Amino acid sequence: MLAIADVSRETAQKVSERCGIPRVAEHAEEILANPDVEAVLVCSPTETHADLVVKAAKAGKHIFCEKPIAHSLPKIDQALLAVKDAGVKLQIGFNRRFDANFARVREAVTNGEIGKPQMMHIISRDPAPPTISYIKVSGGIFMDMTIHDFDMARFLIGDEVESIYTAAAVKVDPEIGKAGDLDTALIVLQFKNEVIGTIDNSRKAVYGYDQRVEILGSDGAIATANCYPNQAVISNAYRIQRDLPLNFFMDRYTDSFVAEMRAFVTAVLQNKPTPVTGIDGRMAAVMGLAARKSFDERRPVRLEEVAQA
Ligand SMILES: NC(=O)c1ccc[n+]([C@@H]2O[C@H](COP(=O)([O-])OP(=O)(O)OC[C@H]3O[C@@H](n4cnc5c(N)ncnc54)[C@H](O)[C@@H]3O)[C@@H](O)[C@H]2O)c1
């Protein structure tokens, strides 16, 4: 039994036709009430996630939930408690863990191929900012965009961050500033295992989606470059050039979206733990809250200051 619901029936209809989903339900509750449904994907706007997760857990469904779980820790904890009480599986949509480049970096760290990690750099710049109406409900750059990089940092290093220092600004669009948000940020991470890391974010890189990481270790370094639609290099008497990188997440991360969904379905079918847990979702949100607090108070913030709030 496969079904889709959306507050816009027209949207649900279009997606059902495009993806071959046989049934369009009137609302999410109709799907949750169906005993033939084993698992649900919560891909609606962030402010709806926590309530839907609670309802789905109470209905005994396994849950895939897009990032972030919610914008506030009480809401996140409410959702995680419902999941725990119901004993259902929860996977959070940190798809980048399933990207072949980043998975290889993690593998190199795990295998000791670069010795003991010392420094980590994540560059994560979007080609263009979202609409101002999206910015207003996004929870801010750290909860909406950097949250992927916070998860990536924990994933690559395999340890928790102790404190965060944020320098940030509005450089791309003053309207983003008027909406109370930021569009440019440099974040310094201090890990518990003493690795030092940076995250470099911009809502607008004119040359396209810029997604790179580098880790320096005691025995070497590992780095990943951007992904391109082709490998052609054009050389003439004046310059050597190539086409721009894959433009945005739907192109750059297509394979990772498929792989994360495979991993979720496998976890449900084989009754195994999901590879990206509710705790992973919570930790990334804690880091997002700490990053904003650091910017607001112009000082490094220990994660425990935020997590205990
Ligand atoms: N993992 C990623 O790379 C990635 C990328 C983009 C968005 N996201 C996340 O996915 C979520 C959705 O983002 P989006 O940009 O697609 O949002 P969106 O505003 O386009 O909404 C998605 C759909 O949800 C529907 N909707 C709204 N309220 C609903 C409800 N109560 N029940 C059912 N459907 C409802 C809307 O009509 C819309 O069709 C967000 O949480 C966002 O953070 C993740």
Mean of pLDDT values over 297-307: 97
Query: Ligand 1: which residue has its CA nearest to atom 1?
Result: 93
The residue that leads in pLDDT, 54 or 307, is: 54
- For 3-27, the pLDDT digits (tens) are 999 999 999 999 999 999 999 999 9
Q: How far is the CA of 173 from the centre of ligand 1 (A)?
A: 23
- Closest C-alpha to ligand 1, atom 38: 44
**Given a cut of 90, is residue 1 above it in pLDDT?**
no
- In the reported structure, the alpha carbon of residue 15 is separated from the centroid of ligand 1 by a whole-number distance in angstroms of 13
Q: Please compute the mean of the pLDDT values over residues 152-171 and round it to a whole number.
A: 98
Ligand 1 atom with minimal separation from the 49 CA? 41
Q: What angle do CA 250, 168, 207 make, to 5 degrees?
A: 40
pLDDT over 90, % of the chain: 98
The set of long-range contacts for 167-175, using a CB threshold of 8 Å and a minimum separation of 24, is 167/295, 168/141, 168/295, 171/202, 172/129, 172/202, 172/203, 172/204, 173/129, 173/203, 173/204, 175/132
**pLDDT at 254 (0 to 100):** 97
Instruction: Tell me the pTM.
Output: 0.96
Q: How far is the CA of 132 from the centre of ligand 1 (A)?
A: 15
Across the range 191-212, mean pLDDT stands at 97
With a Cβ cut-off of 6 Å, ligand 1 is lined by 5-8, 11, 28, 43-46, 48, 66-67, 93, 95, 144, 249
Please give the distance, rounded to the nearest whole angstrom, from the Cα atom of residue 47 to the centre of ligand 1.
Answer: 9
pLDDT of residue 308: 65
Judged against a pLDDT cut of 60, whether residue 109 lies above it is answered with yes
**Alpha carbon 257 to its chain's center:** 11
pLDDT in tens, 111-145: 999 999 999 999 999 999 999 999 999 999 999 99
Residue with tokens 């310059």: 239
Residue 267 φ/ψ region, left for φ over 0, alpha for ψ in the -120 to 50 degree band, beta for the rest: alpha
pLDDT digits (tens, 9 = 90+) for 225-247: 999 999 999 999 999 999 999 99
Ligand 1 atom 33 nearest Cα: 6
Task: Give the pair of three-digit tokens for residue 251.
Answer: 């192109």
Mean pLDDT across the chain, nearest whole number? 97
Assess whether pLDDT exceeds 70 at residue 309. no
Q: Quick check: 76 pLDDT over 70?
A: yes
Q: Which residue, by CA, sits nearest to atom 43 of ligand 1?
A: 67
Question: How far apart (Å, rounded) are the C-alpha atoms in residues 45 and 275?
Answer: 23
To test the ligand 1 pocket, which listed residue (30, 40, 63, 66) has its Cβ within 8 A of the most ligand atoms?
Answer: 66
Segment 26-48, tens digit of pLDDT: 999 999 999 999 999 999 999 99
**Does residue 56 register a pLDDT over 70?**
yes
